[in-house]
Amino acid sequence: MLKKHIITNVAAVTLGLIAASTPVHAGTAAPAKEVVAVVEEEEKPAFSGWLSFDLNSHFISYGLDVWGGGTSWGRGVFNPSFELAWATPIEGLSAVVGSWWDVNNNAPSPIGGYLQEVDIWTGLSYSYKDVSLTVLYQAWMYAEQTEQVLDITLKYNNNTFLNPAITVHNRLDASLEGVGGDGPGDAGTFFVPNLSYTFKIYEVSITPSAAMGFATDDFHGGAGGYGYTAIGISGSVPIPYLPGSWDLHGGVTYYNTSNAVIPTNPADNFVTGNIGVKLMF
């Protein structure tokens, strides 16, 4: 009897194995197949940009203290700005356009109200891996005149240690008058190498930075050579209560400027401050 049960069980197992190896025909249940998820790379939007509203203690233009604030924060300015970038069909190449405004009551405005200056820029930016090259033509409109500028910036940006960059700032005009009557100088060039690094503490992004500026003769109405050093630290934190991607940002920057190159600054050493909000889109 025991032998019969053993033979019966062996036969059942054998039949089960044969059934499992038999092809599945229509009308029978097929075993579930493993589903391999295909992860598609998210397509980047054709347009991106930012909109920013900033309060600044000073208006500093390549080391020049435009409104003569010096060591005081009593001549602050309001600076709204924006930039829009279009990712062209050429991989890595973007076209950009933007504007920056200077709003304050430090002097009567030739434009109207408290609007002292309107800058616009347009150009191209090309990125390959961690290297980017940006060329911008700018028109700075102030004091009933337009200062034409060509900026070229080369940057290596992977944030592994430092992000070195250099900006070659070219003023294309000669014999311009300054906002307060002090001429900014002749056509010429400022060379500005700089370093920065960004790290995070919880939700706060912190960026220490340093830059030095070297000018050609008479750029700011003085000699050529070393113009200034700027050492700063800034931070930003997301604002979760507003629609869109907003942040709150601010920072302080210490300036050392050369009286020989920038003779109109009221102080050679001073600290500036900034606070603002920014929308990324």
The total of other beta-carbon atoms located within 10 Å of residue 185's CB is 23
Q: Go through the domains of the chain in sequence order and give each one's CATH number.
A: 47-280 (2.40.160.40)
> Lowest-confidence range among 18-27, 134-143, 162-171, 193-202?
18-27
Decide: 166 and 154 in contact? Cβ < 8 Å.
yes
φ, ψ dihedrals at 122, nearest 5° = -150, 150
CA–CA distances in Å: residue 141 to residues 84, 200, 235, 281: 20, 38, 30, 27
Tens of pLDDT, residue by residue over 177-235, are 665 445 567 899 999 999 999 999 999 999 999 999 999 999 999 999 999 999 999 99
At residue 83, does pLDDT exceed 60?
yes
| Residue type at 77 in one-letter notation | V
At residue 19, does pLDDT exceed 50?
no
Mean pLDDT of 68-91: 97
pLDDT band at residue 44 under the 50/70/90 scheme: confident
Length, in residues, of the chain: 281
> Lowest-confidence range among 22-31, 42-51, 71-80, 206-215?
22-31
Average pLDDT, the chain: 86
